[in-house]
Amino acid sequence: MSTTDRELRVGMVGYAFMGAAHSQAWRTVNRVFDLPARARMALICGRDTAKVADAADTLGWDAYTTDWRDLINRDDIDVVDICTPGDSHAEIALAALAAGKHVLCEKPLANSVEEARAMTAAADVARASGVRSMCGFNYRRVPAVTMMRQLVADGRLGVIRHVRATYLQDWIVDPQFPLVWRLQKDRAGSGALGDIGAHIIDLTQFVTGQRISGVSAVTETFVKERPLPAESSGLAASVDGHTAPTGAVTVDDAAVFVARLDGGALATYEASRFATGRKNALRVEINGSLGSVVFDLERLNELEFYDATRPAVEQGFSRILVTEGEHPYMSAWWPPGHIIGYEHSFTHEMRDFIEAVATGVDPTPSFADALQVQLVLDAVARSAELGSSWAEVEPTLTAAAV
């Protein structure tokens, strides 16, 4: 692919699951898409010297550091990619924006509405100087999801009446699973609600073009105490027959809520990390006056589409294989019928981010969009705390498109 000589030098903070996914995307994006700038994987940051050095070598980064402040203060870094737990998002992003760096931040944007508002305000100020920012809701970039949005925008579903969204996992079903950071409110902000619920909130709002205006919710923590991780306690799960120390789980294991969208649609959402047998099951169904459309992440190259305008004898859900060159993003990949996977959503994310930064356009979802998701998460938490009473979603107090 022919790409201009302009280089965007990327510094990434974090190297675990999301760090690996983002690294795969940064390595690949310019080899697939013809873009107005080329990403250079300049610097990776992590606290453990040995581990971050190994990550730099394995993931393909030029150099490493153990201090994110060093990364931000370097003149040879243009983009800061934040892949850390939520408790450090705000501090790193605010410092990066103040230093004039473009910022890509993983979701959810922050651990609180207050932090998300501060980040959004800083992004608004930085934008005036040409500094861009984006939140990484990668499922927007699955071609079938983008096509789903197009079907709704083109009026193929008519008036949207129902939204049904679930995101189910089972990785903490075992009560002996250790108390990792995702189960601690001070690190993660919330549990299944923010971790996977944020994805389906953003995805459904993106697809429908409608925002959640109010919710009634219930949350549950099924296992309230867990063994401390070995690296935290210095002990294994059991030593000489004695149970290892435990700590309190301070986040939700599951969240279920009903919602009203501002366009009039009714919606139901379920996010659980206790759905035994479900590994990463995200499913969204949209019902409208003229048809319905369904997306299932376990079949991410497909959509199910029901066209109620067809003659009755021809009606029924049809399978659309989203692999044609005319489908979103797919012209860069393989011949029709040759499917893509989970990692490609991140490559598409980097593609859109580079394109926006290089051409001086604000990328989406913006920090303001991510703040709006944070406000929905806050409304869900407030409703659950008050016995499922109705909770309105607070306004963002800033202009942003879904």
* Range name among 238-242, 357-361, 390-394 with the lowest pLDDT average: 238-242
Whether the per-residue pLDDT at 234 is higher than 50: the answer is no
* Residue 157: CB atoms within 10 Å: 25
pLDDT band per the 50, 70, 90 thresholds, residue 235: very low
Q: Please report the pLDDT score of residue 92 as a whole number.
A: 98
pLDDT band per the 50, 70, 90 thresholds, residue 232: very low
Output the CA torsion sign for 232, 233, 239, 243: negative
Per-residue burial over 41-55, b = 16 or more CB atoms within 10 Å of its CB, e = otherwise: bbbbbbeeeeebbeb
Q: Which structure tokens are listed for 140?
A: 């927007």
Q: Please report the pLDDT score of residue 243 as a whole number.
A: 65
H-state helical runs in 169-208 = 185-188, 192, 198-208
Q: What is the DSSP letter of 209?
A: S
Spatial distance between the Cα atoms of 105 and 109, rounded to a whole number of angstroms: 7
Whether the per-residue pLDDT at 237 is higher than 60: the answer is no
C-beta separation of 25 from 62 below 8 A: no
Question: How does DSSP assign 259-279, residue by residue?
Answer: EEETTS-EEEEEEES--TT-S
The whole-model pTM stands at 0.94
pLDDT digits (tens, 9 = 90+) for 244-282: 799 999 999 999 999 999 999 999 999 999 999 999 999
**Helix then strand then coil, % of the chain, to nearest 5:** 35, 25, 40
- Tell me the average pLDDT of the chain: 94
Spatial distance between the Cα atoms of 362 and 373, rounded to a whole number of angstroms: 18
3-class SS at 308? coil
Distant-in-sequence, close-in-space partners of 363: CB < 8 Å, separation ≥ 6: 132, 133, 134, 352, 353, 356, 357
Mean pLDDT, residues 336-353 taken together: 98
Mean pLDDT, residues 34-38 taken together: 98
H-state helical runs in 107-181 = 113-127, 143-153
Whether the per-residue pLDDT at 382 is higher than 60: the answer is yes
